[in-house]
């Protein structure tokens, strides 16, 4: 039987080559691969890549035909590998371990990976854009992703996500019945939600439904004051006075209970207010007017915080709302 027809994502051939340099040039654009080498077996090299891109999610199938060592530096996407056959070992940030079926690498933007694969190694690779994942996380938690999402890089089993990705790759690759576009979008959403729920990051407890730690009354008093006065100047002195404690004690208690400072909490509240205004704009609403009304004097900083928190620029939120009217 034709090998191409039996591999996952066969409807989306990306590259078939016996030239390592061609593979490096093509795979670097997908995964920030900086180098590849083949310890003593390069003559057997025969690589195939199939790649399907669905908006913010990309799925790739790869095999190489020879034992391979690859270095990935400063990846700019969220990634997870799903070995299908063969074995290997990997290190990412401070984690290291073996690779085998159902046990792969999980990493995020900025990660550095060292990967070693056996000659018969085959895998599926999930790649998710940071903006798309942040948009999905913001919708799940019902507020801005502030502070930014920080993924804990690891090499670990993930059976539930593996089964989902393998199933979707199989359905996408079927030559006889292409998936309807609506279903493809819903499958993409399922992948991102599963990735967020099964990976470890600083919002995992929120998604798992764990209640936030009970905060001292001073922290709760400061939070209430910030929510009620988000459109007014907030000073350290005012917060300390409302909480009836020293500024130093308040900041320490706030960070211990909430993981952020009172001022970072105020920024989170203001970003949520800004999103509400942009998503349901009054006549004449502009990004500039919303930024200033919500206490952001620097438009560049506002746009940066907003994109980190919601995965899109404030102008994109406003434009979508205006087109929907």
Q: Residue 21 sits in a domain of what CATH number?
A: 2.60.120.10
Q: Evaluate if residue 209 carries a pLDDT over 80.
A: no
- Inside any domain, residue 212: no
Of 207, 226, 246, the residue at which a domain comes to its end is: 207
Each residue's pLDDT tens digit, 98-117: 998 878 999 999 889 999 99
Q: Let me know whether 192 and 223 are in one domain.
A: no
Range of the domain at 29: 3-207
Q: What CATH number is given to the structural domain containing 228?
A: 1.10.10.60
Q: What local confidence, expressed as pLDDT, does residue 92 receive?
A: 92
Place of tokens 């790759």: 169
**How much of the chain, in percent, has pLDDT values that exceed 90?**
54
Query: Does residue 292 sit within a domain?
Result: yes
- DSSP three-state, residue 18: coil
At 213 the pLDDT is: 57
Instruction: Give 232's Cβ-side CA count (13 Å radius).
Output: 8
Question: How high is the pLDDT of residue 3?
Answer: 40
- Assess if residue 104 is contained within a domain: yes
Q: Are residues 193 and 223 located together in one domain of the fold?
A: no
Segment 20-68, tens digit of pLDDT: 889 999 888 888 899 998 876 556 788 999 999 999 999 999 999 899 9
Asked if residue 147 is part of any domain, the answer here is yes
Quote the longest CA-to-CA distance of the chain.
Answer: 77
Question: Do 183 and 36 lie in a common domain?
Answer: yes
Q: Is the bond into 147 cis (omega within 30 degrees of 0)?
A: yes
pLDDT band at 133; cut points 50, 70, 90: very high
197: in domain: yes
Structural domains counted in the chain: 2
As a whole number of angstroms, the distance between CA 176 and CA 58 comes to 21
Question: Which of 180, 207, 234 is at the close of a domain?
Answer: 207
Q: In sequence order, what are the beta bridge partners of 89?
A: 98, 116
Over residues 221-241, mean pLDDT:
89
159 and 40 co-located in one domain = yes
Does 285 lie in the same domain as 173? no
Whether residues 58 and 183 share a domain: the answer is yes
User: Mean pLDDT of all residues in the chain?
Assistant: 88
The answer to the question of residue 233 being in a domain is yes
> DSSP code of 176?
S
State residue 220 phi and psi, 5-degree precision. Answer: -65, -40
Whether 147 and 285 share a structural domain: no
Check whether residue 202 and residue 234 sit in a common domain. no
**Domain co-membership, 223 together with 197:** no
CA distance 116 to 139: 37
Judge if 199 and 236 occupy the same domain. no
Same domain flag for 53 and 20: yes
**Domain for residue 100, yes or no?**
yes
pLDDT confidence of residue 2: 40
**Residue 162: inside a domain, yes or no?**
yes
Tell me what the mean pLDDT of segment 71-94 comes to. Answer: 91
Same domain for 143 and 169: yes
Euclidean distance between CA atoms 304 and 311, whole angstroms: 10
Which of 207, 231, 258 is the endpoint of a domain? Answer: 207
CB 135 within 8 A of CB 124: no
Cβ-contact 318, 278 below 8 angstroms: yes
The Cα 144–Cα 129 span in angstroms is 17
């Amino acid at each position: 039987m034709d090998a191409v027809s039996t591999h996952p994502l066969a409807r989306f051939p990306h590259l078939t080559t016996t030239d390592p340099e061609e593979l490096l040039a093509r795979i670097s654009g997908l995964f920030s691969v900086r180098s590849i080498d083949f310890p003593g077996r390069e003559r057997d090299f025969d690589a195939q890549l199939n790649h399907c891109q669905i908006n913010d999610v990309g799925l790739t199938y790869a095999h190489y035909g020879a034992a391979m060592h690859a270095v990935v530096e400063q990846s700019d996407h969220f990634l997870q590998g799903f070995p299908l056959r063969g074995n290997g070992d990997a290190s990412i940030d401070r984690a290291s371990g073996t690779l085998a079926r159902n046990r792969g690498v999980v990493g995020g933007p900025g990660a550095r990976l060292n990967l070693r694969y056996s000659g018969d190694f085959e895998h599926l690779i999930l790649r998710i854009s940071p903006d798309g994942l942040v948009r999905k996380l913001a919708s799940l938690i019902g507020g801005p992703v502030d502070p930014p999402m920080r993924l804990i890089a690891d090499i670990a089993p993930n059976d539930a996500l593996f089964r989902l990705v393998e199933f979707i790759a199989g359905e996408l690759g079927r030559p006889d019945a292409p998936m309807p576009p609506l279903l493809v979008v819903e499958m993409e959403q399922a992948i991102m939600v599963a990735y967020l729920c099964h990976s470890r990051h600083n919002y995992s407890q929120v998604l798992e439904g764990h209640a936030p730690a009970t905060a001292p009354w001073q922290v709760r008093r400061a939070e209430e004051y910030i929510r009620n006065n988000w459109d007014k100047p907030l000073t350290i002195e005012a917060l300390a006075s409302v909480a009836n404690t020293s500024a130093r004690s308040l900041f320490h208690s706030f960070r211990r209970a909430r993981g952020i400072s009172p001022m970072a909490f105020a920024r989170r509240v203001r970003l949520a207010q800004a999103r509400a205004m942009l998503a349901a704009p009054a006549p004449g609403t502009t990004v500039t007017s919303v930024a200033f009304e919500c206490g952001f004097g620097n438009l560049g900083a506002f746009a940066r915080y907003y994109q980190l928190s919601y995965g899109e620029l404030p102008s994109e939120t406003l434009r979508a709302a205006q087109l929907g009217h």
